[in-house]
């Protein structure tokens, strides 16, 4: 079959269903990707409200080295990055995602596995903690929006290395944060 005609839209209403599910799958994948990016950005900025919005109210979660928790407020209280950023123990946090796998993607439930690196610059800007992380999430569609309902966060490996130019970068980020928001 010619690829140009195989994927051409048809005026036949009986064939519309052929396009509806694949299109919805792409839209769901994009929405889930955006949700994960909001989570990482919110975590890096120390924004609890942004992170809160990524989870269901009754989320079940376990982060590496910490006991399991139930509920979004208990989870937020357990994310130590917020306190480290607020107290200046961590000057900069940068999460970078790598592999993203959609293990399951149905109309209302999705399972994802995300590999990510976290780079955490020390308060004096001299050291960077590097962490290879894995996020195993179960997401549910709630009121038309995807939310993380279950999360397992694991640490695959960690290392600390001297930072190069981190002091200058810390100053640049501080200057950028002082600018008024862009509308």
Quick: pLDDT tens for 17-33: 677 888 999 999 999 99
- Domain CATH code at residue 162: 3.10.450.50
Please tell me the total count of domains within the chain: 1
Q: Which residues contact 124 (CB under 8 A, 6 or more apart)?
A: 167
pLDDT in tens, 38-93: 999 999 999 999 999 999 999 999 999 999 999 999 999 999 999 999 999 999 99
DSSP letters of 97-129? EEEEEEEEE-SSEEEEEEEEEEEEEETTSSEEE
pLDDT at residue 105 tops 50: yes
For 16, the 3-state DSSP assignment is coil
Domain span at 160: 18-178
Residue 116 lies in a domain: yes
Confidence of residue 7 (pLDDT cuts 50, 70, 90): very low
- Give pLDDT, residue 8: 52
The H or E element that residue 130 is part of is: strand 127-142
Residue 121 lies in a domain: yes
Task: Report residue 144: phi and psi, to 5°.
Answer: 85, 0
Residue 119 lies in a domain: yes
Nearest to 100 by CA among 110, 90, 89: 110
Confidence of residue 15 (pLDDT cuts 50, 70, 90): low
Residue 1 lies in a domain: no
In whole angstroms, what is the distance from residue 40 CA to residue 115 CA? 12
Residue 128 lies in a domain: yes
Residue 9 lies in a domain: no
Confidence of residue 12 (pLDDT cuts 50, 70, 90): low
Task: Please check whether residue 75 is in contact with residue 64, taking contact to mean a CB–CB distance below 8 angstroms.
Answer: no
Residue 8 lies in a domain: no
Residue 153 lies in a domain: yes
């Amino acid at each position: 079959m010619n690829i140009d005609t195989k994927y051409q839209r048809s005026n036949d209403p009986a064939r519309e269903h052929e396009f509806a599910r694949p299109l919805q799958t792409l839209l769901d994948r994009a929405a889930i990707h955006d949700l994960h990016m909001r989570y990482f950005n919110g975590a890096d900025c120390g924004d609890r409200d942004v992170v809160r919005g990524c989870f269901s109210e009754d989320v079940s979660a376990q982060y590496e080295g910490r006991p399991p928790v139930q509920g979004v407020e208990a989870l937020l209280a357990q994310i130590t990055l917020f306190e480290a950023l607020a107290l200046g123990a961590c000057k900069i946090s940068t999460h970078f995602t790598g592999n993203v796998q959609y293990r399951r993607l149905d109309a209302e439930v999705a399972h994802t596995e995300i590999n990510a690196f976290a780079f955490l610059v020390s308060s004096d800007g001299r050291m960077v903690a590097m962490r290879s992380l894995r996020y195993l999430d179960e997401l549910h569609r709630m009121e038309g929006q995807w939310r993380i309902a279950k999360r397992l966060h694991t640490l695959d490996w960690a290392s600390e290395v001297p930072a190069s130019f981190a002091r200058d970068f810390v100053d640049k980020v501080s200057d950028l944060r002082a600018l008024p928001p862009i509308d």
